[in-house]
Amino acid sequence: MTAATLARPASLRQRLAAPSDVAHLAACSIAPRTLDVDQAIARMLDDVSRPGFWQACEEQVAQARRLFAQLIGADVDQVAILPNASIAAHQAVSGRRWRRRREILTTPAEFPGIAHTWLARPRARVRWCGPPGAAVRTADYLSQITPRTALVSVPAVTYRDAIRLDVTRIADAAHSAGAAVFVDAYQAAGVMPLDVDTLRCDYLVTGTGKYLLGLPGLAFLYVRHPDGPPPTLTGWLGRTDPHALRATVLDSPAHARRYETGTPAPAAVYAAVAGLSLVGGLDLRRVRHHTQRLIAATAQRLAAQGEVVRLATDADAQGAHLALVEPRAEAMAAWLGHRGIVTAPRSGVLRLAMHAYTTGEDIDAVCEAIAAYRCRSRTRPGAAR
């Protein structure tokens, strides 16, 4: 796929592996299967049975690193490849000494795996901002950064309600107070422009299993200054020259590969290259515009059907999915799934995720099916049965 062929957001639709009448609205949870990932996995299986498989795999790793660095405006030496976002978060801070400044400022709306990583930090103290169970706002962060704050952890877009925070403003306030900034961009990367210099973050983490159109099993850690203290978790890929294979030497290169551990999962790596190549061919500003338009139309339509939809107060603060309030979201998702509509239930909401491939027909299909579900299940919008 070339940049030219994918310039129109909808042309990505032709790369989806499912029949064209399947509406995939779940990229906030899992990427749709694409022909490109299918081909990449077939190639990986082919490579496994040839001599030189590990070399081929290393080339794929290098390509994934390059494509991701390009996507976020980073240098390849600022990007580490890890198995998941939780480990990447751990790696970002594990070498840090928590002395006078011990506070990590985060939010209950943070993805639990990231929040748990902070809670598990010995000697660090976690402070929460934003009301529990409700939408966090940029202002909640700005009002709680203090000279005691060591790290400010911000989801670029929250995983449940898709609140998009103003990372740049938060980062400026954090830096003025002498704190570092960590961004979890798993719900943003691949579906909106992301540039680490614009965001002004010190660390950024994301994975390939969602809007980046790969598979789960691979995460990226961006580190602005990757020559800080080495992490406490390591492996042979974290060495200056991994292929020297010296068991008695523990050195750390002055680039982000010092955060790496052991062998990555080849299937995830090959799929990452396929997904990142697709995303790299998109104009993400147009994709953002496209998804915002679809979200506004979907929200309006669902509200007219009497549904309760959680939306950010202004369109710019909305991520790429919307959250429909439904206590039995799993049951609704299963019902929709049998009708070829793939959605993402999570903690009392049904998430509908948009991407470049999402069409007006997908929105018609899901809105009509939700109306039909209400009749069949005799449930009321937003209420427990």
Ligand X SMILES: Cc1ncc(COP(=O)(O)O)c(C=O)c1O
Applying CB under 6 A, the residues found at the interface with ligand X are 84-86, 111, 113-114, 155, 159, 184, 186-187, 207, 219
Q: Which is nearer to ligand X, 153 or 187 (CB)?
A: 187
Residue 336 CA, chain-centre distance (Å), reads: 24
* Helices marked H in 124-200: 138-142, 167-176, 196-199
Shortest approach of ligand X to residue 110 CB, angstroms? 8
Q: Which residues contact 213 (CB under 8 A, 6 or more apart)?
A: 27, 31, 32, 34, 36, 37, 190, 274, 275, 276, 278, 279
For residues 226 and 9, what is the distance between their CA atoms, to the nearest angstrom? 35
Q: Which is nearer to ligand X, 34 or 153 (CB)?
A: 153
Question: Strand pairing partners for 297?
Answer: none
Q: Which is nearer to ligand X, 211 or 335 (CB)?
A: 211
Shortest approach of ligand X to residue 277 CB, angstroms? 21
Shortest approach of ligand X to residue 159 CB, angstroms? 3
Q: Which is nearer to ligand X, 40 or 165 (CB)?
A: 165
Shortest approach of ligand X to residue 114 CB, angstroms? 6
Shortest approach of ligand X to residue 206 CB, angstroms? 8
The H or E element spanning position 294 is helix 284-304
Residue whose pair of structure tokens reads 């592996």 in the numeric block: 17
Strands in 344-346's sheet, in edge-to-edge order, are: 309-310, 321-325, 349-353, 344-346
For residues 341 and 21, what is the distance between their CA atoms, to the nearest angstrom? 9
DSSP calls for 56-94:
HHHHHHHHHHHHHHHHHT--GGGEEEES-HHHHHHHHHT
For residues 125 and 133, what is the distance between their CA atoms, to the nearest angstrom? 21
Q: Which is nearer to ligand X, 78 or 117 (CB)?
A: 117
Q: Which is nearer to ligand X, 56 or 152 (CB)?
A: 152
Shortest approach of ligand X to residue 244 CB, angstroms? 30
* Helices marked H in 120-245: 138-142, 167-176, 196-199
Q: Which is nearer to ligand X, 111 or 203 (CB)?
A: 111
Shortest approach of ligand X to residue 10 CB, angstroms? 25
